A = this chain, B = another copy of it.
């Protein structure tokens, strides 16, 4: 529309930009990876030789509900990070393993997990200091 004012055009551009940021695929993907269960599932698969069965994952992660486990596995499968293999025996057997793409990611997530374990004490100390200072006020 040639009848659009400069202000209108600017407004539209700003709106489109905001929408773009909110729906920015990269941000969405980052949000996906920034998920407690994603970290744990990928870590579990990475720290295990060969594929793992659904129930193995449930046991290893312990604390996950089957709903969240299934949901997480589905999105990871859809994103090409884990591979799902069904063996139509009786009873059914389903195995999960990391894809190449998943393995390229697992190292990074494991590093974060290791950091959490390594620096737990320092964080705990920082919290004590912080809380003490707040309480003294």
Contacts and interface: CB of A to CB of B under 8 A. Distances in A.
A39 interface: yes
A135 interface: no
A29 B62 contact: no
Q: Which of A111, A112, A131 has the most CB of B within 10 A?
A: A112
Q: DSSP class of A's interface residues: helix, strand, loop or mixed?
A: helix
B119 A104 contact: yes
A22 B63 contact: yes
Contact of A101 (B21, B63, B126, B131): B126
A18 B101 CA distance: 32
Size category of the A interface is 35 or more
Interface string A33-46: 11110111000000
Given A18-B63, A62-B18, A101-B122, A116 B30 contact: yes
A27 interface: yes
Contact of A29 (B78, B81, B120): B120
Interface in A105-137: 105, 108-109, 111-113, 115-117, 119-120, 122-127, 129-131
Given A26-B120, A33-B115, 20 more contacts: A18-B63, A26-B117, A27-B63, A29-B120, A29-B123, A30-B36, A30-B39, A30-B116, A31-B36, A34-B38, A77-B130, A78-B127, A79-B123, A79-B126, A81-B123, A81-B126, A101-B119, A101-B123, A111-B111, A112-B112
